[in-house]
Structure 1
């Protein structure tokens, strides 16, 4: 009986905590790809203005189907000195389609089809279709992110595989700071 009450108490505390307002904001810093076989080109994306809005084009050089998989890791540099420490937030190795479906809700407030991109995010496509797509004035909105986030430079690294062979990685750096 004590275990059940304890579990209920933990669930209630977690739900109440999730209702707390966010005390941070996130802004883009950079986006890069590594690897000669990476089927994604982000070299034409720039970050503009005080809000660090993503603008430009990205290209998927081939359809990303179930033969593609990714593994995700996150790192934090709280001091801004380039010394990143790995965080516990990871995404297990899974197909690109499953990963897109699972993690898209974190970015859905930021990227809208027909508003600031022509990539068909609204249909959750699988495979992700080959092509060149635009981004216009995309601002990171942390609406669906965890209530508590470490402050500093947050680096997310998605390592890509095709048929279980390494093809490259995508690295996105954002800055998490207290609301001003």
Structure 2
């Protein structure tokens, strides 16, 4: 995919006024696992799914300020015909862009009981220990390219091309019972 085409897709995905939402879907967190790091762990994700409702609980520890010397990679795959099929959209960004334009817009509204920074405090993401309790993900403002069914999203945090933390979450998007 050309850089121009990837940029257009990313803009449409990140700008909530340009693409339709998938608010007619509900989401269930199916699994969550840490990504194996290359050398040292700078970002620890001690999160787990609890109960029948699969609520996200736990902590994340940032051992460093996540500034622009780091990279954030997001890879998405959908489960089709018994195997994971990567989507043609791979997001490669910097922490400030990720925290403000992806986490802040699409995920943070679900973190009601948490000490994660908000607003202007999202960047840089300061070192420290953060918690999240009983997080039920909401699709109310998610972009429309997310496909109904099983989706695997990998969040990798890199420094100098080496993975220093991350996690993989599998979600199931299904029709909302109205």
Q: Tell me whether the two structures share a fold, i.e. TM-score over 0.5.
A: yes
Match for residue 147 of structure 2? 150
**Shift of the alpha carbon at 1:66?**
1.1
Distance across 1 between alignment mates of 2:58 and 2:163: 27
Residues 69 and 96 of structure 1 are in contact (CA less than 8 Å); yes or no, is this contact kept in structure 2?
yes
Residue pair 2:79, 2:151 contacting (<8 A) in 1 also: yes
Residue 117, structure 1, aligned to residue 117, structure 2? no
Is 1:18 aligned with 2:20?
A: yes
The aligned counterpart of 1:34 is 36
Residue aligning to 2:95? 96
Tell me the equivalent position of 1:72. Answer: 74
1:168 to partner: Cα distance: 4.6
Mapped to 2, the partners of 1:173 and 1:147 lie a distance apart of 17
Runs of 5+ in structure 2 lacking a partner?
1-16
Aligned residue-pair number: 158
Distance 1:97 1:117, change over 3 A: same
Q: Judging changes above 3 Å, is the alpha-carbon distance between structure 1 residues 41 and 132 closer, same or farther for their aligned structure 2 residues? A: same
Runs of 4+ in 1 over 6 A off after TM superposition: none
How far apart, in 2, do the equivalents of 1:96 and 1:126 lie?
A: 7
Deviation at 1:134, TM superposition (A): 1.0
How large is the RMSD of aligned CA atoms in angstroms? 2.5
1:145-173 CA-partner distances (Å, limit 9, x unpaired): 13463222211112322134443543222
Aligned counterparts of 2:80 and 2:170: Cα–Cα separation in 1 = 13
TM-score normalised over the length of structure 2: 0.76
Return closer, same or farther for 1:124/1:142 CA change in 2, 3 Å cut-off. Answer: farther
| Aligned residue number for residue 47 of structure 1 | 49
1:5 maps to which residue?
Answer: none
Ranges in structure 1 where 5+ consecutive residues have no aligned partner: 1-14
Distance in 2 (CA, whole Å) between partners of 1:156 and 1:163 is: 22
Find the aligned partners of 1:106 and 1:176 in 2 and give their Cα distance. 15
**How high is the TM-score relative to the length of structure 1?**
0.75
In structure 1, the partner of 2:13 is none
